[in-house]
Amino acid sequence: MKVFINKRIPETGIDMLKEAGLELIFPEKENLSYEEWLGYCKNADTILNVGGDFKYDKNFFDVCPNIKAIALYSVGFDHVDIKEATQRNIPVGNTPDVLSRATSDVAFLLMQSVARRASYNFQKVKDDNWGTFDPLHALGQELYGKTLGIFGLGRIGYEMAEKSRKAFGMNIIYHNRHQNEEAENELGATYVSFEELIKSSDVLSVHANFTPEQKELFNQSIFEQMKPNAIFINTARGGFHNQKDLYQALVDKKIWGAGLDVTNPEPMSADDPILGLSSVCILPHIGSATVEARNGMARLAAGNIIAFSKNEKMSNCANP
């Protein structure tokens, strides 16, 4: 079975695939064009896909009829038309759990960075503008006892809530497709409506799976309903927020700050005016970028391909 792997992944996953006797195909160069990428896909039976550069849509499946399975090197699957894949009996594996800790760590890091104005203060040091001790300058806000609103209480949202409760005694509210009573008992979390989440959160952290219906859900009208001291955190997908509206909300002081590990668009332009604001901290989608998480993802993705090659069920599948 031929497996196309569009980017290098940690060796632990490659070793597993080699031991399973699979034929591995790597691209001869980085940054393939869409046509070049399709060319590789057409000649493969399965794909171990890294990143969301290209969409697995109807056109893809029409042009690459030989593809029998896709193993994503990600937990997110918003770049795959799952309905189309399912109709064609193509399993789409993903890599949940192994990156929940790392990704929620980044949400937690952003929350603290924004609350204590880390980017702004770091810039002062770099600008040789340390200044003298000023009782009224560079003041952040403490998170102790504040309300953390989780949008999407899946594995990553759960870990973010747990860390924040343990570290800062934060009061946890959440909004989710379904109420999660077990998590409520463990976290002391309260299920609230979306409107309540927006209005009551001191920190609002986005952790849901992205779907097209939720495109730019967090926009001007939502930012306007948030508390003026609120911090908006997005480590899920950039498509969840309208970045121009977020910029304006920060400029107009409708909210206090924002921490993003995902941007809209992604990658974002270095000319984006939001980068000029002292109330933001922005990272280039590094949520799962730890040795531990990336090795775990490699093993899960490779395991999914191997399971498929043996006619077994993938351990984690995005298909319903």
Q: Should residue 70 be labelled a site residue for ligand DGY when binding is judged by CB under 6 A?
A: no
The secondary structure of 31-93 as a DSSP string is S--HHHHHHHHHT-SEEEE-SSSS-B-HHHHHH-TT--EEEESSS--TTB-HHHHHHTT--EE
Q: Is 76 a binder of ligand DGY (CB under 6 A)?
A: yes
Site for ligand DGY in 278-297 (CB under 6 A): 287-288
Asked if 5 is part of the footprint of ligand DGY (rule: CB under 6 A), the reply reads no
Q: Which among 237, 241, 294, 299 is annotated as catalytic?
A: 237
Of 17, 41, 75, 187, the one binding ligand DGY (CB under 6 A) is 75
Name the residue nearer to ligand DGY (CB basis): 75 or 274. Answer: 75
Q: Which residue is nearest to ligand DGY (CB)?
A: 76
Q: Please, which residue, 149 or 287, has the CB nearer to ligand DGY? A: 287
**DSSP assignment of 107-120:** HHHHHHHHHTTHHH
Is 195 part of the annotated catalytic residue set? no
Q: Among residues 226 and 302, whose Cβ is nearest to ligand DGY?
A: 302
Half-sphere exposure of 131 (CA within 13 A, CB side): 11
Cβ closest to ligand DGY, residue 49 vs residue 309 = 49
DSSP 3-state helix, strand, coil percentages of the chain (rounded to 5)?
Answer: 40, 15, 45
- Give yes or no: 175 in active site: no
Catalytic option among 116, 117, 155, 285: 285
| DSSP string computed for 149-203 | EEES-SHHHHHHHHHHHHHH-PEEEEE-SS--HHHHHHHT-EE--HHHHHHH-SE
Least Å from the CB of residue 89 to ligand DGY: 24
By CB under 6 A, tell whether 306 contacts ligand DGY: no
Beta bridge partners of 190: 173
Which residues does the annotation mark as catalytic? 237, 266, 285
Enumerate binding residues for ligand DGY (CB under 6 A): 74-76, 99, 287-288
